């Protein structure tokens, strides 16, 4: 019996549509009807798991999924033992530090000793360390942008795509600390048979991309 390659994609969010299209454009058929958590392809040895993006690196590390698609931000922050299979070029965004618009800013050293709220303590911690700055990192899981206005922090570090959310919360972007796009990650201990299925998918992705250019 052939094994199916198990592919983890975001259930609903900014990665979902492009992730599903990537496989559909490769001619892999599956039904991702609303509310489904799992789907098996009707014409290719693959099955899809629809998950929250934050859970994907852990599932791939454990081999519950063989490959997955997440933002590089989530991949790096998760710090899991997975292989980086392929950069995918969509869901581009950046991770930036922002401060209240009326505050002066002369450089990263201005953040010395300050409180910074973020959902990315690892990426932010590395950046501050590389720049020789010590700040207090407050990890919060959402609505990071309101932290300064409620007195929780002096600054925030969050995902920015257009800057609209920062502006409407009275913040200005002062440092870009990380640039991200979608990445395919893989389990380092995949069976040879599954590696072979993955190779076929990568071959098809390359063909689709060549046809587009």
C-beta closer to Zn ion: residue 54 or 115: 54
Least distance (Å) between residue 46 CB and Zn ion: 23
C-beta closer to Zn ion: residue 79 or 189: 79
For Zn ion, the binding residues in 31-60 under the rule CB under 5 A are: 53-54
Determine, following the binding rule CB under 6 A, whether residue 52 of this chain makes contact with ligand ATP: yes
46, with CB counted inside 10 A (0-12, 13-18, 19+), is buried
Q: Which residue has the tokens 């893989």?
A: 186
Q: Which residue has the tokens 């899991």?
A: 80
- Kindly state the DSSP code that residue 63 receives in the 8-state scheme: T
Q: How far apart are CA 146 and CA 151, in angstroms?
A: 9
Q: Write each residue from 146 to 175 as x if it is in contact with ligand ATP (CB under 6 A), else as -, in one continuous string.
A: -------------x-x--------------
Neighbours of 22 (CB within 10 A): 24
Determine, following the binding rule CB under 6 A, whether residue 91 of this chain makes contact with ligand ATP: yes
Q: Write each residue from 15 to 34 as x if it is in contact with ligand ATP (CB under 6 A), else as -, in one continuous string.
A: x-------------------
Give the one entry of ligand ATP, Zn ion, none that residue 91 binds, where binding means its C-beta sits below a cut-off of 5 to 8 angstroms depending on kind: ligand ATP
194, with CB counted inside 10 A (0-12, 13-18, 19+), is buried
Calculate Rg over the CA atoms of the chain.
20
Q: Record the tokens describing residue 68, joined without a space.
A: 């997955």
C-beta closer to ligand ATP: residue 40 or 161: 161
Determine, following the binding rule CB under 6 A, whether residue 14 of this chain makes contact with ligand ATP: yes
User: Nearest-CB residue to ligand ATP?
Assistant: 71
> If we measure between CA atoms, which residue out of 178, 203, 185 comes closest to residue 65?
185
Residues that bind ligand ATP (CB under 6 A): 10, 13-15, 52-54, 71, 73-74, 91, 93, 159, 161, 180
Residues that bind Zn ion (CB under 5 A): 53-54
């Amino acid at each position: 019996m052939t094994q199916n390659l198990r592919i983890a994609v975001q259930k609903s969010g900014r990665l979902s549509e492009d992730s599903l299209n990537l496989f559909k454009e490769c001619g892999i058929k599956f039904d991702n009807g609303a509310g489904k958590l799992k789907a098996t392809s009707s014409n290719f040895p693959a099955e899809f798991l629809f998950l929250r993006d934050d859970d994907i690196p852990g599932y791939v590390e454990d081999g519950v999924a063989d490959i997955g698609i997440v933002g590089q931000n989530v991949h790096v922050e998760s710090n899991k033992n997975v292989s980086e299979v392929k950069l995918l070029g969509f869901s581009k965004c950046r991770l930036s530090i922002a401060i209240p618009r009326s505050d002066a800013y002369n450089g990263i050293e201005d953040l010395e000793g300050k409180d910074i709220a973020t959902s990315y303590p690892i990426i932010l911690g590395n950046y501050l360390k590389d720049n020789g700055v010590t700040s207090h990192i407050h990890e919060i899981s959402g609505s990071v942008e309101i932290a300064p206005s409620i007195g929780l922090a002096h600054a925030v570090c969050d995902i920015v795509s257009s800057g609209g959310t920062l502006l409407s919360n009275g913040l200005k972007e002062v440092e870009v600390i990380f640039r991200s796009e979608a990445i395919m990650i893989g389990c380092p201990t995949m069976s040879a048979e599954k590696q072979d299925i993955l190779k076929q998918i990568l071959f098809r992705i390359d063909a689709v991309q060549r046809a587009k250019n």
